Structure 1
Amino acid sequence: MELRAAVRSLAEKEIAPYAAEVDEDSRFPQEALTALNASGFNAVHIPEEFAGQGADAVSACVVIEEVARVDASASLIPAVNKLGTQPILLSGSEQVKKLVLPAIAAGEMASYALSEREAGSDTASMRVRARLSGDEWVLNGTKCWITNAGVSSWYTVMAVTDPAAEKKADGISAFVVHADDPGFSVGAKERKLGIKGSPTCEIHFEDCVIPGDRIVGEPGTGLRTALRTLDHTRPTIGAQALGIAQGALDAALGYVKERRQFGRAVGEFQGVQFMLADMGTKIEAARHLVYASAAASERGDARASFMASAAKSYASDVAMAVTTDAVQLFGGAGYTRDFPVERMMRDAKITQIYEGTNQIQRLVMARQLLKG
C-alpha cells in the first residue's frame, strides 16, 4: 500500500531519530508534529469539504500504526486528533464543523475531555457542569487524563447540563472549548510510566464562558455522542498497540540475528524461533481484527461496537505480550535504555487502559453478544 510506505518512510526519517530523547526528557515530539503537518498525516480523517484529506477509517489506522511502530507518543497526534474531532463529525452543527475541523486539518490539535477523577469507567457520574447564561454556556469543574492537553487548541468536553435528569446519561451534553476561552486552564503534567512525549494533564473550567452555539448536538445527547465516538476510535488504539508490537518484533528480529551465543546467532535456537513465531502470529491476527473493525465503523456495521472493543482489547493485550517477549529476547540489554524495547514495553501498557480498560471492553462485548 502506497500510504503505508509513505508514512513508514516519514516515520523512520523524521520521527524515529528523536523517539528515545522524547521519552528520556518527557518532552512533546515537536519534530513529529512538524513532519506530520507538512505531509498531511496529522489528521487524515477530516473530510475534504473541511480542508482535510478525506481518508477512510482504515487509512487513519495505517497512519497511526506506522507512526506508533517508531514512537507511540508521536502516534497520539493523529490518534487524538481523530478522538477530539469525531464527536463533531458525528453530531456537530455545520457551524461547529467549519469552526474546528479546518483548523485541525491545517495543523492545530484537538483533545477529548470525558474522564474525571471520580468518573472514569463510570462516565455518567461526571461532575463538570455547564449552565446556559443568556446566549452563552458557563462551564465549571475539572477533567483529567486529557491527552495532549496544553498543546491542543480545541477540546471536546462532556458536561452535565441537567443534574435532575431521570437518567444521568440524559443530562450530559458535549461542547467545544478553545484554549483561549476565558476561565479555561491546563494543570500540571502527569508523571507517567510510558508515552512520556504526549502530555497528560487535568484541564480546569472556572466560570469558563463559551458561545451558545458551541454545543455539539442537542442538549442531553453528549454522552451518547461520546460513546458512539469510541466505536470509531477504539480501532485507532488497536492500531497504536499494533504498531508498538510490530516495532518491538522488528527490533527483536534485528537483535537475535546479530547477537551470538555458543558460537551461533541467538535466532538460530529453536526456543527463540518459537517465541518469534508466536509474536508474529499474534501481531498478524491483531492486524486483521483492527482493520476489520475500522472498516466496520466506516460502513456503520451493526457489529461495529463489538468489533471496536474486540480490536482494542485484543491488540493491546498482544502489544503487552509481544513487547514483554521482546525485552526477554534482548536479555539483559533489553532492560536498559540503550535499546528501544523497554520503552515500547512501557508504552504498550497504557493501550490496555485508556479509551476504556480491557475489562470494560469485555463488558461491552458480552452485552453486545447477549443482545444478539
Structure 2
Amino acid sequence: MALNSRVRASTQDAEPRMQEQTTGVDLPEGFYMRPTESVPPHIGEMIDRHVAANQAAYSGSPQPGLIVRLPSLEKLGVTCEIGVLLAQKTRQGTWRGWLAVGECDYAGVSDFVLQEEDGPFYSAFGMVQVWNPVEVKLPKRCDVLGTLSPDRMEAVYAMAREFKGSIAANAGPPFPGKVGLRKVGGYAVVTGTPLADPKDDPRWIYQRAYTGLARRLSQTSTSSAGALWAAAALKRSARALEQWTAGRQLAFTPQAVITHPLGQDADEPVNVGYRLEDLCELWLSIIESEGVIHVRVKRVGDAQLSVRLMRGDEPFLDEMLNQSQEEVQVSTEVDSGDVLILEDKSTQKTYSVPIT
C-alpha cells in the first residue's frame, strides 16, 4: 500500500474511535475532516525512511559498521541522543569509531552525511563525524539504530585517510549549511564544505563543543582513549587552520606530520608545526592528561612580530618577537575559541589565527 493510501486509511479508521472517545463534548460541525490532498512527496519520503529505520532497529552485539546509541550520557551532562559508528574492537567491551549525530546543517568536509542508499538509519544519527574518533566501552547488547554496508564503511575509511593526510582539495568554497557530493579515494560521499572565517561560521563553535564531548567520553573509557582524543583534537585544529589559510591564499607549510587517530599509540608525540609566510613557525601540541593545547610561536629569519592571544576581547598574552626574544609559548583550552593575533612589524600586516 502506498504511503498516501496508508495515511488516508489510518485517518479514516481513527475517526470513529476519536468520536467515541469524545462523546458528550460539544465540538464544532466539521471538526473531524478527511484529508483532501496527498501528503507532499518529501514528507512521504521522510516518513518512509523513519519507518524503515524503525523496522531495522534492534538490540544486538557490537559489530563494525553498526551505528549504536551511546548509553548513560546523563552523567556527562548530555541530554541529546549521541551515537557512534563502530569501526574496530580494541579489547573486550571496548570499541573505536566515530561519533554519529543529527546536526547535518553543521557538516564540514570531514563529516559523512548519510543518504538513503547508505542503509536504514535514524535521522538523529544521520551524520558521522570522521574528524572526531572516540574509544568507548559498550555493553554486550546495544541499541542498533543504523547499519552501513562494507562498501560504505570503506568510504568512511577513505575519508579518515583524507583527514589524516591534508585538507580536502575538491570540497569547494566555504558555505556553512551546504552539503554536496564529492569523490574521496574513489568513493562518492556527501559532505559539507570547508570552514569559513570563525566570525561568520558557527561550525567552529560546533566542532569545539563536540571535541569537548569526545574528551569527556575518553575520560570515562580506557587509557588509550586519551591518546586517541589528543591526536584527533590536534588534527582538527590543524585542518581548521589549513582551511582558514587556504581561504586567504596564505603560504602555510607543514613542518611535521600528525599520526592517524585510529592508529595512534599512547607513546607517539602529538604535535604539529607550520610555517606561516616568511613570518614565523607555529607549533601546536596537546598533552592528553591536561586537555589543553600548547602553542609555540618562533620567528623566521629577521622577522619582527607581535604575538597576542585573545580570549574574547581580553589579551591573554602580549609579547614581541625580535633578536632578543626568538619565540614565545602559551597554553589554552582546546575548546576555548582563543585567537592568535600576529602582526608583522615590517609590513604592518595582521593575521588573526584561530587556534581551536
Higher alpha-carbon Rg: 2
Q: TM-score, normalised by structure 1?
A: 0.26
Larger relative strand fraction? 2
**Relative contact order, CA 8 A, sep 6+: which one is greater?**
1
Q: Considering fraction of residues, name the structure with more helix.
A: 1
Instruction: Report the TM-score, using the length of structure 2 for normalisation.
Output: 0.27
